[in-house]
Amino acid sequence: MTKETDETEFDPVADLYERQRQIRQEMGGADRVAKMQEEGTPTIREHIDGLLDSGTFRELGTHSRSMRLEDRASTPGDGKVGGEGQIDGRSVAIGGDDITVKKGSSAIVGSRRLHRLYERAMERGMPYVYVGETGGGRIPDLIGAEGISDVAPDPELARRRRQIPMATVIVGQSFGGSSFQSAFSDFVVQVRGSVLAVTSPRVFEVATGEIIGFEELGGVDVHSRITGQIDLGVETFEESYSAVRRWLSYLPSNAWTKAPRSEVRADLSADESLAAMIPAKRTRGYDMRRFSAALLDPGTFMELQPGYARNLTTGLGRLDGFSVGVIGNNPMFNAGVLDPEACRKAIRLMCLCDAFNLPVIFLMDVPGFMVGKAVEHNRILALAIRFVEALGNMSTPTLTVTLRKGFGLAFPAMNGSGLGSSGLYSWPGAEIGFMDPEVGVNVAYASRLETLEPDEAEEERARLVSEIGLATSPYEAAGTLRIDEVIDPADTRRVLVDDLRQLDGRRIPPPEQRPLSYWPTV
């Protein structure tokens, strides 16, 4: 065969497709892919297909591989896969860990691939979604100074300033890189059976002698109830895909654009059912989650961190088609008090909404801040002030409705008067004051009891009940214009919608003028 004939027969395009086929189908080994399929465990490419609109994935960095000569043939993608696609017709960047290649461990080229995806997402102004289940940093690639310098937490993520939405789905054992990614993210979903931690139990045991199981270390229940490091725990992979898609539907693609408004328009007629959901007696509980869902457009309330700090309800939803954030005290749990965890939970949602121009509706029914040694030692002072500081620096509009009560420093902390609310309203039966009137009466009565004659005591108590009760009326605050209006509970939806429609025409400050977009992610 002549040289000319040999060159004519070689087809570089066919060679390209064969290389792509081998990398994308066989991944880190056809046997490993087959085993995962037998076990019902999706590969990273199957996760990506589940998240994206069908047929929209365009892979980038297909031919990347390890820097180490001895590993080049066996490390397609260098443990990472990613590219760009669409979710509900909007462009997104997407990447994740390929556990068929050295357990998805992080090394130099794979980290560069992920950084390139993020870089393109920032340049194009599109959300970034990450699917995490890495085994941690790869040894020996990182053992030296050069290696660890290349795969340290990406400094560009630290400078993101929430200019694009970022979501992470934890689908397997996640240590190191993908865990760091989740902590940088605005939304974290964890699938039951997965693990989210900085370090694996094996490292714990070697380094400290401590023996701990995967679930106990970083399972869904740990993070959804104790640490608050995830926004949602789900049972299946399909639920995690749906959660990310739904969360993104409330947000703009980036901080320079407006969130999409749905075609639904709210019913603005008087709704007596809203008041009926809330007991008149301040000590009786009700579920703020149900109230929030009833107030918003039907079926649109997406609760975030539902198992963490349950005394405060937070989430995203729509009202008159507008995307909004919701923060409400939940009297069903701990009477709806504010504690350190509730402060952290509120600030997380406020940062998200401020970065992406979503108005926040505060539904106040708060007896005060929790008191006691435990909360003092858990930095209630610092977190309460951080909560107020965050409120004072919000650039997005806020609307507040006091439903039943707002006592003590928790009243301003829940966006009461003086902190820049665009609309501050109260139901007529609400109480606002330094403390619960019953407590106030008891304190005042006890302080005066020694100076009273027996026949004067009952009269004095009755006088205090009347005086303090009148002082906590919302009309007192409305009289000095610390509340914009006392409203009929049945008109709550209409009042809020009127404000949202008016605020829709406001000047939106550029991202650099939104202080909460700079605040720490966790």
Angle between helices 380-392 and 340-355 (to 10 degrees): 20
Residue type, 509: P
Predicted pLDDT of residue 471: 60
Mean pLDDT of 428-433: 90
Mean pLDDT of 405-432: 91
DSSP code for 261: P
* CA–CA gap between residue 466 and residue 155 (Å, rounded): 60
Say if residues 516 and 257 touch (Cβ distance below 8 Å): no
DSSP code for 400: E
Residue type, 494: R
Per-residue tokens: 68: 């180490």
Instruction: Kindly report, as residue ranges, where domains of CATH 3.90.226.10 are found in the chain.
Output: 3-249, 273-429+473-518
User: Looking at domain 3-249, what is its CATH homologous superfamily?
Assistant: 2-enoyl-CoA Hydratase; Chain A, domain 1 (3.90.226.10)
The string of pLDDT tens digits covering residues 70-127 is 888 888 988 899 999 999 999 999 999 999 999 888 888 888 999 999 999 999 999 9
Which segment of 443-457, 460-474, 506-520 scores lowest on mean pLDDT? 443-457
* CA–CA gap between residue 214 and residue 246 (Å, rounded): 29
388 φ/ψ angles, rounded to the nearest 5 degrees: -65, -40
Does the pLDDT of residue 332 top 70, yes or no?
yes
Residues 6+ apart with CB under 8 A from 222: 215, 216
Mean pLDDT of 465-473: 60
Closest C-alpha to 334, from 345, 326, 325, 323? 345
Per-residue tokens: 490: 């049945």
The string of pLDDT tens digits covering residues 163-185 is 999 999 999 999 888 999 999 99
Mean pLDDT of 347-363: 97
Predicted pLDDT of residue 7: 59
DSSP code for 50: H
pTM for this prediction: 0.91
Does the pLDDT of residue 520 top 90, yes or no?
no
- Give the count of beta carbons closer than 10 Å to the beta carbon of residue 19: 13
Alpha helices (runs of H) in 96-199, residue ranges in sequence order = 108-124, 145-151, 155-158, 177-184
Closest C-alpha to 104, from 71, 132, 140? 132
Task: Give exposure, 147-174, as e/b (b: 16+ Cβ within 10 Å).
Answer: beebbeebeebeebebbbbbbbbbbbbb
pLDDT band at 368 (very low <50, low <70, confident <90, very high): confident
pLDDT band at 135 (very low <50, low <70, confident <90, very high): confident
DSSP code for 338: B
Q: Is 186 exposed, middle or buried (0-12, 13-18, 19+ CB in 10 A)?
A: buried
pLDDT band at 464 (very low <50, low <70, confident <90, very high): very low
Q: Is 131 exposed, middle or buried (0-12, 13-18, 19+ CB in 10 A)?
A: buried
Beta bridge mates, 176: none
Does the pLDDT of residue 424 top 90, yes or no?
yes
pLDDT band at 445 (very low <50, low <70, confident <90, very high): very low
Q: Which CATH class is domain 273-429+473-518?
A: alpha beta
* Helices then strands, each counted (H, E), the chain: 22, 17
What is the Rg, in whole angstroms, of the alpha carbon atoms belonging to the chain?
27
DSSP codes, 123-142: HHT--EEEEE----BPTTTT
Closest C-alpha to 359, from 504, 160, 247? 504
